[in-house]
Amino acid sequence: MIICQNRWKEVHWRPDIIHLGTKYLRFFDAAVCLSLSAQIHGTNKEIRETAKRCLPTLQKADRILINRIAKSNTPLEDVKTLVKTLLNDVVSIKPSTLSLA
């Protein structure tokens, strides 16, 4: 096990779990992982595997949609829909409502 010192806390690195300096992935990070998997591999099987790898690192509130993608019959189409929806949501955010904290 490799232990590295993060800015505020110690992070244990494991090759089977993605860590971005915290214990959990954000939903947006998982969506990026799924969209990259769709772009690179383009198969339902690989997207399911990526979604299953992301599940343990997501907070409970964010697991619902990723779990649906992992159990879906057509996860490739679901990821395409997710990316389109996220892009629309990001474009419609007003800068005054963003918080940098």
User: Residue 14: which residues within 8 A CB-CB, separation 6 or more?
Assistant: 1
The pLDDT tens digits for 40-50 are 999 999 999 99
State how far the Cα of 100 lies from the Cα of 94, in Å rounded to an integer. Answer: 13
Q: pLDDT (tens digit, 9 = 90+) per residue, 5-49?
A: 444 444 444 444 455 555 678 888 899 999 999 999 999 999 999
Q: Looking at this protein, which amino acid is placed at residue 99?
A: S
Angle between the 75-91 and 44-54 helix axes, to the nearest 10 degrees?
Answer: 60
**pTM summary value:** 0.67
Q: What is the pLDDT of residues 41-97, one digit of tens each?
A: 999 999 999 999 999 888 888 899 899 999 999 999 999 998 888 877 766 766 655
